[in-house]
A and B are shown apart, each in its own frame.
Chain A
C-alpha cells in the first residue's frame, strides 16, 4: 500500500518532466526517444563527469556507461524521480567508484598538459598575447586544482550547484541525503574555494 502511494506521487511529480515522458516511451520500445534524451543530456553529463574526473577520455567512458545503464534499465524504469536526478545519481555513483579505483590517476599528473585541450580564447581581430594566454591557463589550472582538492561529496555538490544549476532539493536526491546536509556540504566547499580562489577577482 505504502509503495503504491509513493509511486502515484512519483508519477504525478514526474509527469511535469518531459524527460520522464521520453523515458517512458523508451520503455515502450521507442528508440528515437532515447536519441532525444541522449541529445539533450549528452553534453551536460560529459561536462559534469569531466569536472569530476578531470580527464576527458575517462569522462566520456563513464558517460557512455551511464547512458548504457539508462538504456538497459528501460524495461524496469519507474518514474519515481526526475529523470535527471536518476541519471546524475548513476553518474555520481560511477564517478565516485572510478575515483576510488584510481581510474583517473594519470589525470592528476596531466593537469598541466590537459589545459592544452582547451581552446585559447581569442578575438578574431585581436589575438591574445602569449602572456595573456599564460595568465588564463594559470588561472584555469588553479580552479581545477581547487576543485580537485575538495572532498568527493563536496565536489559533487559544488559541480551540480554551480554548473548544472540544480536546486538544493535535487542535489539532495542525487546524493541521497537531506537538504540541510547539502547546504552544509556547499558551505564548507565554498569556504575552501573562497580561501583558495577569492584573490582571483
Chain B
C-alpha cells in the first residue's frame, strides 16, 4: 500500500487502527505497511501513548443532589402533576403510540420494547407479557425480586454516588 501519511484522509486509517476501529482486513494490510515504514510506526506509537494518557483522565462523580436540583428546577416551571405518572401504562396507550408509527417502525419497536436499558449485551430479551403468569405469582418469587432490586439499587447508588437516597 501507499504510505497513509501521504494524504490527510488516509492518515485517519492510522487513527482508526490505534483506536481499534479498523476492519480486520484493513488492519492486516496496514500492519504489513507499518512493519516497513518508520514514519507510520512512530505515528502509531505516539497515538497509542496519547490514547493511554487520555485514559488516565477520569471525571469526578456527579453530585448526589443533581437529580433533586434538576427536578426542583423543572417543578418550578411545570405543574407537579405533569411529572406524576401511572406506574402501569394502560395497554391502549401503548397501542395508540405504536399505531401512529409506520408498520416497519412498529416491527422494530416491538423488538426494542423488550430491550431494557441496563440489559447486558447479548442477554436474551425478557419474555413478553404473559397474562397467564399474573395469576401464578408465588410469594417467594416476590421476596426474591425485592432482594434483587435492593441489591441492584444499592449497587447503582454506589457506582453513581449521585442519586438521592432511595426509600426502598
Direct contact of A and B (CB under 8 A): yes
Query: What residues make up the interface of A, taking CB atoms closer than 8 Å to B?
Result: 8, 11-12, 15-16, 18, 21, 24-25, 28-32, 36, 38-40, 42-43, 46-47, 50-51, 56, 60, 63-64, 67-68, 71-72, 117-118, 136, 139-140, 142-144, 147, 161-163, 180, 183-184, 186-187, 190, 193-194, 197-201
Report the bound CA distance from A163 to B19 in whole Å. Answer: 12
Give chain B residues whose Cβ lies under 8 Å from the Cβ of A11. Answer: 101-102, 105
- Digit string of B87-103 for contact with A (CB within 8 Å is 1, else 0)? 10100010001000110
The tally of residues in B whose CB lies under 8 Å from a CB in A reads 53
Whole-angstrom distance from the CB of B26 to the nearest CB of chain A? Answer: 15
Whole-angstrom distance from the CB of B149 to the nearest CB of chain A? Answer: 15
CB contact between A46 and one of B49, B62, B83 (< 8 Å): that residue: B62
Classify the secondary structure of A's interface with B.
Answer: helix
Question: B28-36, B112-120, B128-136, B140-148: which lies at the A interface?
Answer: B112-120
B73 with A16: CB separation less than 8 A: no
A15 with B108: CB separation less than 8 A: yes
Give chain A residues whose Cβ lies under 8 Å from the Cβ of B77. Answer: 68, 72
Report the bound CA distance from A8 to B83 in whole Å. Answer: 29
Verify if B84 is at the interface (C-beta below 8 Å from A).
yes
Give chain B residues whose Cβ lies under 8 Å from the Cβ of A180. Answer: 9
Give chain B residues whose Cβ lies under 8 Å from the Cβ of A200. Answer: 49, 52-53
